Amino acid sequence: MDTNTEDILNTLTLEEKVSLLAGKDFWETVPVKAKGVPAIKTSDGPNGARGETFSGGKRAACFPASCCSASTWNPELLRQVGHALAEETQTKGARVLLGPTMCNHRHPLGGRNFESFSEDPLLTGKLAAQYVIGVQEKGVAGTCKHYAANEQETDRLTVDEIISERALREIYLKPFEIAVKEANPWAFMTAYNQINGTHADSNKFILEKVLRGEWGWKGLVMSDWGGTNSTADALNTGLDLEMPGPTRHRSYKAVKQAIKNGELTEETINDRARNVLELIRKVGGFRNPEIPPERSEDRPEHRKLIRDVAGQGLVLLKNDTDVLPLKKDQVKGKKIALLGLAKEALIHGGGSASLHSHYRISPWEGMHNTYGDDVEFKFAKGAHTYRLLPPLKGNWTLKAFDRGSHDKPSLTVEHQKEAAFTGLFNEAVKWKDLELTTTFVPTETGEHYIACSGIGPTVVKINDKVVFEQKGSTNDSMGFLFGGNPEIEFTYSFTKDASYSIKIESQPPGKEGSDFGGILSGMPGFRMGFMYAKEHDEDLTSAAVDVAKECDYAIVFTGHTPVWETEGQDQASFHLPNKDHCQDKLIEAVAAANSKTIVVNSTGVAVAMDWLPKVSAVVQAWFSGQEAGNAIADVLSGAVNPSGRLPLSWPKRLEDSPAHGNFPGEKEDGQLTVKYSEGVFVGYRHYDRISQDKVLFPFGFGLSYTTFNLKDAKATQDSSGRFITEVTVSNTGKQAGATVTQLYVGRTKQSAEHPIKTLAAFKKVFLEAGKEERVMLSIDLKDFAYFDQGSNRWKVDRGRYNFSFGQSAQNIESVVEVEIEGGSRELKL
């Protein structure tokens, strides 16, 4: 018998109802045991259920990041991923998965683009909907996030985004609308940012008018962690659950005072508490209130699925003279150089999407797994790729002091191993000043390198002399924890075998009692990195070139380690890191030494490829999960025919991107504001209007080891108003493979106010060599309607429209003109 949440609600006191509206701790809700209300647990994140420990907790399956999953263009595969992620969530005792991330790829430097699917709202919405369906079919709640318009990490807690209603509805809200109408997600998570002057957690337009009003959605809305900014406003607008706990804005005292002041009503509290109870019911909390201990289950079927998704998500961008695949019989007895990040498994980005994976297969391991001893592999690092210098090791002593009084420490911890500390949720150091001291004896003489940073003001002294001072606090405490805060390197002269006293003094951010730092307010943290000059300045490229010269093939593995592409920071550069574009220089030097140079790039974003004409092949591997190395080897060897297609447009230059000049915005009086001046002309919608020479690889692009064509397209409108389209897809090559049939719709007579074309439908098609298939795609007017701000309605204007079929936004192979009758069609979606 199902629980009647209304009956339970009626038994609760006002104080008990209020207690439900914020978390108990970082992951769980508050129980009301006397009334039979259990706690339920949540877990990050979009590509794997990490569990309650940020670092080093129970192991979990790491699935490909959403950018890689999106490259499959395969919704059914995403449904299978949802099933597996639900099972993983349950192993962590959780019932709510904090994913999928559904924000738009607005700009190539977006720090969390890798967590999201695409620049296109339809592709994002369709994939996310199947992900959510899969998760919820297993009884776990999917959480659509971050609602809405969380497209940058710079000043993410406070940035104000100025967005037209049309752009909001057509681009940034559309994926969420599709997910609501096709998957009915049980939870939403609001974004940190402001939209047109109001924080997302209390934004009446997106929460009240659109989500709960027009879309009629009835699930639970929670805040991002630390993203609740008010008491009455957020409750009135529809934010049900403040996370994490304990509460900062929803104490019984604060809520009761707001009711007394007439700012809140008990009816509103009932509405918010009802939604919390309903979520508990949906995920089975009343039937089984137990939160079991976390466990790790390495399932073979999950391993296979991860490898399959990665294999379908890898995108072959270039393949001159068919240098790929490197078939086993073709390369037997040959030498292959594996250079760069070949021994690094770039399986996920940084931040809340990271986890302690069951295992991580590097390309070096994957290539050996595939080719065995038939090939001689040689390795060279080739480039420095660190972002932060490694913390100085030693025997450190940590002391915590009451603020302003350093006479007697309140806490002393001996034998700390390195010059790094974060007081994450450690009450013993909250609002304390910290000192970390050691005696350092260098093993080399010279000008060696140091880099430092702190969550709050931080000073480093060597032999009582200040060598570094950070006077202010970081803008994003969570970003500091995720390792992305930029640090400036400097040198200090050390003498071998001499003794140096080093002291790091660090304060918490803000003043005691303030909310600076959000959920990490009062938590100090710092780090001091160190590297000997010999290692720091070592020429790694020359050794890689020497290896490349003696090999038959050279494969350069490039990309972003998690500290380069992470929550809390936007990208440092459009070029591959680290200093002086050394990965780019490595590719150029190797390509000059070996005519069969292949690049495998693992990033979640487009990057500059000035070296593209000089290499034979390029594979975009994204962050492809714990099976990354095996999946890469599958594609390189030809065991898997690549079928990934880009979910984003890949510009040649950063300056050609649609949001250039309006990212990450401009500051005035400390407030960062970003204008979404490009409106609806995001991604391919922008590039369609300018020279195609600005695009390195178009949206939807990807090569295969076989070839395909599209022909004989037709489109008819049935009695219900739906358009039934057909096109013949042929595999014209010599082996089985897959392509993606993409249907774009746009006005035959172009208009400056509207995109030339918009993706309206797609289907991935698998075909044997020489075979063809008649593919049917069905669409409604709503799939290519625009939002008319003047009439406040969705419309499709009368006239002729091109239904364009292609294998990318630029490669249109068959076009059908369709007359849409009846004047301006106003649609209620």
β-bridge partners, 799:
820
Q: b/e string for 438-463 if b means 16 or more Cβ within 10 A? A: bebebeeebebbbbbbbbbbbbbbbe
- Regarding beta strands 695-697 and 650-651, do their DSSP bridges make them parallel or antiparallel, or are they unpaired? antiparallel
Six token digits for residue 579: 């200093």
Cα 750 to the chain's mean position, in Å? 35
Q: Cα separation of 215 and 385, whole Å?
A: 46
**Cis peptide preceding 664, ω within 30 of 0:** yes
Q: Tell me if 506 sits within 8 A of 458, measured CB to CB.
A: yes
β-bridge partners, 143:
187
Whose structure tokens read 């999917």? 142
Which of 155, 160, 201, 224 is labelled catalytic?
Answer: 224
Q: Cα separation of 604 and 110, whole Å?
A: 10
Q: What is the DSSP-derived secondary structure letter of residue 579?
A: G
Element at 198 (helix H, strand E): strand 198-199
**Cis peptide preceding 325, ω within 30 of 0:** yes
Direct distance between the N- and C-terminal alpha carbons of the chain, in angstroms, rounded to an integer: 36
Q: At what angle do helices 363-371 and 628-637 cross, to 10 degrees?
A: 50
The angle formed by the CA atoms of residues 298, 301 and 305, to the nearest 5 degrees, is 110
Number of other CB atoms surrounding residue 580 within 10 Å:
11
Q: Cα separation of 804 and 780, whole Å?
A: 15
Decide: residue 703, CB within 10 A, 0-12 exposed, 13-18 middle, 19+ buried: buried
Closest residue by Cα to residue 76 from 316, 311, 353, 309: 309
Q: Cα separation of 414 and 412, whole Å?
A: 7
- The strands making up 799-806's β-sheet, listed across from edge to edge, are 758-767, 737-747, 799-806, 812-820
Reduced to 3 states, what is the DSSP secondary structure of residue 827? strand
Number of other CB atoms surrounding residue 749 within 10 Å:
9
CA-based Rg of the chain, rounded to a whole angstrom?
A: 27
Sign (positive or negative) of CA dihedral 461, 467, 471, 477: negative
Q: What dihedral do alpha carbons 470, 476, 481, 482 form, nearest 10°?
A: -120
497 is catalytic: no
Question: What distance separates the 2 farthest-apart alpha carbons in the chain?
Answer: 88
Q: Cα separation of 771 and 449, whole Å?
A: 61
Q: Tell me if 315 sits within 8 A of 536, measured CB to CB.
A: no
Q: Tell me if 569 sits within 8 A of 484, measured CB to CB.
A: yes
Number of other CB atoms surrounding residue 748 within 10 Å:
12
Q: Cα separation of 56 and 590, whole Å?
A: 37
Q: Cα separation of 27 and 44, whole Å?
A: 9
β-bridge partners, 819:
800
Q: How many separate helices (H) and strands (E) can be counted in the chain? A: 20, 38
Q: Cα separation of 676 and 168, whole Å?
A: 10
Q: Tell me if 402 sits within 8 A of 432, measured CB to CB.
A: yes
Q: What dihedral do alpha carbons 299, 307, 383, 105 form, nearest 10°?
A: -110
Closest residue by Cα to residue 429 from 508, 351, 316: 508
What amino acid positions are annotated as catalytic residues?
Answer: 224
